[in-house]
Amino acid sequence: MHTKDGIERDRVDVLTFGVGHGDCFLIEVVQSGRTQFRLLYDGGVSLPDALLTHLRDKRKEDYSKDLDVVVLSHVDTDHQGGLHQLFAESDISIGEYWSPCLPAFERLSWLFAPRVSKAVEKAGELEIAAKHREIPVLYPMEDHVERFTPEKAVTISVISPARRLLKRLYHASSESIGELLRRIPLPLEWLIRDDGPSEPERDNFIHSPFDGGTAINREMLPPASALIGLSAVELCKSAASAAKLEGLEFEPNFFGNIVLNDTSLVVVVDVVLDGMHRRRIVLSGDQENWSYISSQHPMGLAPDVLKVPHHGGRVYLWDINRPLAEALPSDGIGQFFIWMRPRAAIVSAKGLHGLPRAEFREAVRMVGTTLVCPNKRKRELLFVDSVTRQAKSCFEQFGCQGEQSEVLKLRLSAHQEDLDAAACLQGSCHRGPAPVVVMQQRLVEPDETFVRWTTGEIRRQAQWLQDFLRRERKQMLERTNGSLVDRLSLDMTSWSRIAAEAKSERRVQFCANPGPVVRYAVSNGMVWAETNEARYLERSNLVAALPEEEYDQLLSWLKQLHGILLVINRLDYKRISVGDWFKLVSTSENQPLFQLCAAQSGLPFEVFERELMPRLIRDIVSNFSGRIASLDDPHSRQPWDAGKTILHLYRLDKGIPDLYENVWSNLPSGLGSGFSDADLGFVFSKGSVLPPLYKSRTLQYGALSNFINKYYRGDEKVIRDGHVPAGMLPRVFSKAKWLDLWEH
């Protein structure tokens, strides 16, 4: 590519070799007309002659390695076969060989079907050949990054497999390994949890080279422990049952292949062109389960070019064994492309196993991606009224029965993309104008198959949690039969109870990672918890937030009371001078009052105190008038100078009831226990609640009786043997030296 002044600019070429059903891709970076970097990703079943011809005819001018990096995504024959021939070509020099972590698979190979275990063995021979040629062999893992070219313009990043996954395959017990092999696809969502090692990972506490850097080799690994008690036959049957449950095809001859596929080396190649323009290529191997990768890159990868995973086969954005799986499609190919957002996609398959799938091509079309394929179509579909009427494979659908293109070259410069053949599907997500008229269009919106870990799914799980906790609270209230004492004994719902219910409903993901759900529920006022942290053990309990209408009922109940008396042990005059009535009520001896409110609302007191008491104090100040008097000297005009102070909260529309009026009712014994009479936290009630300090209609000796007696001054005791003369209470309250604070 030349500019108008004849200077050749930087570019990156993506060469796709026609190897039938298999992958063989060459990434070539050209700077100022010189090839500076080459990466070969897989070698097909057999090495294409066009690749050898290209490497021999276009040697690097600086005489550096013909191939800087050779990557084997995984050990399937259609990916590794040609590399054996490549390593036998002594005139083709290689800088590094990046291999899957073979020791982890060799540990399991006796469990795999012969065809799969043979592939692991063959990959070992490839490693031996590389070492014979003194080619460094690396097992790169997630977060491994290398930069190439003198200007460091090429960055190679590995985003899968995760180190924790490979560590588990190499070190974990039989039970833990069995849990992986029984599932389709390979379960990866346990990697997403941020709450520490789970039970299946208990073996992963072993210190291992997997805990260190991002790339290791065979010499760094200690001997693997033996697996005892695993039966290949039973595991195969379990996997077949899982496949049948999801309506998938399962071939015993391929048992173990799912592990190899979902540990593919997924490589991201970032190239800076002309010093400022980035181009990105994603090489995805046969990776099927993208749940963990998508959680690590929630905004998508947005590559310029995507090597389509698994030859246009099934792609998953969740583990199959999840709640409501029966209500969802068996894979998420559409959601995958919405998340990935590639401008161009390259697929390499030739009808074997029904690949590429017709659903894959439809998903590519809907997101506007250009599709590149070495197959040559024999017919063109001008219109089809329903995707369901199409063939299973687009290879069959478009009659791609002829020969493949020997090689396709997709060239990317800073300002242009071109292909040396016709694209299978012209997309609209390029810089050029999009089509004005679309004859067939289907709108695809992100659904729960993709947004498990985003707001939509979290909101759904949080709503389930709130509904369950509300049912639990309702059942507990029904068991109290209206007893206030029993209501004070209510407790929050333990996590073990919630987890048991979630597991019974197959809410496996919620049990595995409740943190985001609980945090969302707490932050949105759906659930009250002891802590906002993501660790929910037996000590961490939850309760559904009190509905707004029930809080209104509690406030209405309080507003029906004649008044509230609270003792203030040390009155801070500054609270009065600045009018801080909220703080004044908060620092009073108010616990008996709010015990009554907690019992009335049916909440555990510790929850009520934390979640509702501040709000209720604010509303009490807003709906009651307040005044104070000295508790020790009712005649004092400066109540803050006379020891304890009595705070009277009252409503102007209600008077002071006499003790002989029929406005009291007894509280059950036990309510208010633990508080002395001197606390004086009692409520003037309208036929519903008696103050906590009273066991009957007879006023017992205590703070209020002292207040009445001291009103008369001297030694005369107005209250004798608990008997209060009729009309004494209203009289004392009306003639004491009250200091009015606020009025409503």
Distance of CA 72 to the CA centre of its chain: 31
Q: Which residue has the higher pLDDT, 86 or 250?
A: 86
| Closest listed residue to residue 613, CA positions, set 634, 590, 630, 644 | 590
Q: What is the mean pLDDT of residues 567-596?
A: 80
Q: Is 31 helix (H, G, I), strand (E, B) or coil?
A: strand
pLDDT tens digits for 301-343?
999 999 999 999 989 888 755 443 333 444 688 889 999 999 9
Cα–Cα distance, 111 to 518 (Å, whole number): 40
Residue 165 has pLDDT above 90, yes or no: yes
Q: Which residue has the higher pLDDT, 233 or 112?
A: 112
Cα–Cα distance, 55 to 172 (Å, whole number): 43
Cα–Cα distance, 539 to 256 (Å, whole number): 41
Q: Which residue has the tokens 């002989």?
A: 660
Average pLDDT, the chain: 80
Return the structure tokens found at 27.
């990434």
Residues 346/351/354/360 CA torsion (nearest 10 deg): 20
Residue 395 has pLDDT above 80, yes or no: yes
Q: What is the mean pLDDT of residues 144-173?
A: 93
User: What is the pLDDT at residue 55?
Assistant: 96
HEC letters along 210-273: HHCCCEECHHHCCCCCCCCCCCHHHHHHHHHHHHHHCCCCCCHHHCCHHHHHCCCCEEEEEEEE
Burial of 126 (0-12, 13-18, 19+ CB in 10 A): buried
State the pLDDT confidence band at 207, using cuts at 50, 70 and 90.
confident
Residues whose CB is less than 8 angstroms from the CB of residue 196 and which lie 6 or more positions away in sequence, other chains included = none
Q: What is the mean pLDDT of residues 584-598?
A: 81
Query: Which residues face 16 on adjacent strands?
Result: 25, 408
Residue 688 has pLDDT above 60, yes or no: no
User: What is the pLDDT at residue 454?
Assistant: 60
HEC letters along 633-664: CCCCCCHHHCCCEEEEEECCCCCCCCCCCCCC
Cα–Cα distance, 280 to 344 (Å, whole number): 11
User: What is the pLDDT at residue 659?
Assistant: 56
8 Å CB contact between 220 and 209? yes
Q: pTM for the complete prediction?
A: 0.61
At residue 17, φ and ψ (nearest 5 deg) are: -95, 135
Residues whose CB is less than 8 angstroms from the CB of residue 372 and which lie 6 or more positions away in sequence, other chains included = 16, 344, 345, 346, 347, 408, 410, 419, 423, 424
Cα–Cα distance, 165 to 154 (Å, whole number): 28
pLDDT tens digits for 110-122?
889 899 999 999 9
pLDDT tens digits for 527-575?
888 654 445 544 457 888 888 898 998 888 788 777 787 888 778 777 7
User: What is the pLDDT at residue 73?
Assistant: 97
Residues whose CB is less than 8 angstroms from the CB of residue 736 and which lie 6 or more positions away in sequence, other chains included = 629, 634, 635, 711
HEC letters along 310-367: HHHCCCECCCCCCCCHHHCCCCCHHHHHHHHCCCEEECCCCCHHHCCEHHHHHHHHHC
User: What is the pLDDT at residue 243?
Assistant: 72
State the pLDDT confidence band at 5, using cuts at 50, 70 and 90.
low
| Closest listed residue to residue 119, CA positions, set 257, 235, 231 | 257
Residue 717 has pLDDT above 80, yes or no: no
Cα–Cα distance, 562 to 558 (Å, whole number): 9
Query: Which residues face 38 on adjacent strands?
Result: 28
DSSP letter for 517, please.
Answer: H
State the pLDDT confidence band at 229, using cuts at 50, 70 and 90.
confident
User: What is the pLDDT at residue 734?
Assistant: 77
Look at 155-164, 255-264, 312-321, 657-666 and tell me which has the smallest mean pLDDT.
657-666
User: What is the pLDDT at residue 665?
Assistant: 42
Q: What is the mean pLDDT of residues 346-375?
A: 92
| Pairing mode of beta strands 277-283, 625-630 | unpaired
User: What is the pLDDT at residue 154?
Assistant: 96
Q: What is the mean pLDDT of residues 586-604?
A: 81
Cα–Cα distance, 429 to 668 (Å, whole number): 73
Residue ranges of domains in the chain: 11-419, 455-544, 553-742
User: What is the pLDDT at residue 718?
Assistant: 66
Q: What percent of the chain has pLDDT over 70?
A: 77
Q: What percent of the chain has pLDDT over 90?
A: 34
b/e 227-244 (16+ beta carbons within 10 angstroms → b): beebebeebbebbbebbe
* Degrees to nearest 5, angle at CA 540 with 493 and 205: 130
Return the structure tokens found at 487.
């209501």
Q: What is the mean pLDDT of residues 462-490?
A: 81
User: For the domain 11-419, what is the CATH code?
Assistant: 3.60.15.10
Cα–Cα distance, 132 to 122 (Å, whole number): 15
State the pLDDT confidence band at 1, using cuts at 50, 70 and 90.
low
For the chain, helix, strand, coil in percent to 5 are 35, 15, 45
Q: Is 40 helix (H, G, I), strand (E, B) or coil?
A: strand
Q: Which of 150-164, 170-184, 207-221, 448-462 has the highest mean pLDDT?
A: 150-164
HEC letters along 205-221: HCCCHHHCCCEECHHHC
8 Å CB contact between 441 and 48? no
State the pLDDT confidence band at 678, using cuts at 50, 70 and 90.
very low
| Pairing mode of beta strands 305-307, 344-346 | parallel
8 Å CB contact between 613 and 619? no
b/e 631-655 (16+ beta carbons within 10 angstroms → b): bbbbebeebbebebbbbbbbbeeee
Q: Which residue has the higher pLDDT, 15 or 474?
A: 15
| Closest listed residue to residue 632, CA positions, set 641, 623, 624, 622 | 641
Greatest C-alpha distance within the chain = 121
Burial of 74 (0-12, 13-18, 19+ CB in 10 A): buried
| Closest listed residue to residue 53, CA positions, set 92, 9, 99 | 92
8 Å CB contact between 168 and 201? yes
Tell me the H-state helices in 387-454: 394-397
Cα–Cα distance, 540 to 542 (Å, whole number): 7
